[in-house]
Amino acid sequence: MAQEQISVRVLDEEYKIKCDSKQVDLLKKSASYLDEKMAEIKSSSNTMQREKVAVMAALNVVSEYLSQEAKLGELDDVSGEIEKLQNIIDTQESI
């Protein structure tokens, strides 16, 4: 697959990154999101070192991800229950 080098800015620092051409938009969006999260943390504590800001932002992003993943799991469970109920209804209707 074709690789493309792009530049992204995170907390006023530029990073040149190679990625698959199909992933460019996702990478730019990800960098923008990370930049926002890091800027939020940095604005609440101007003395916090860049590395600590990055770790705090990473923890926040992972926490959000895991929360969404849990919600998707709950939806899968509900979907499975609905499917079971639909099968029961279909079986009863055919009797």
Task: Say what the pTM is.
Answer: 0.75
Instruction: Give the CA distances from residue 28 to residues 1, 7, 24, 48, 83, in Å, rounded to whole numbers and listed in that order.
Output: 19, 9, 6, 25, 38
| pLDDT digits 0-9 by tens, 32-74 | 999 999 999 999 988 999 999 999 999 999 999 999 999 988 8
Q: Which amino acid is at 8?
A: V
Residue 41 and residue 53 in contact, taking contact as beta carbons nearer than 8 Å: yes
Instruction: Give the CA distances from residue 67 to residues 10, 59, 62, 71, in Å, rounded to whole numbers and listed in that order.
Output: 24, 12, 8, 6
What does the CA dihedral 30, 36, 38, 39 come to, rounded to 10 degrees? Answer: 160
**pLDDT at residue number 95:** 67
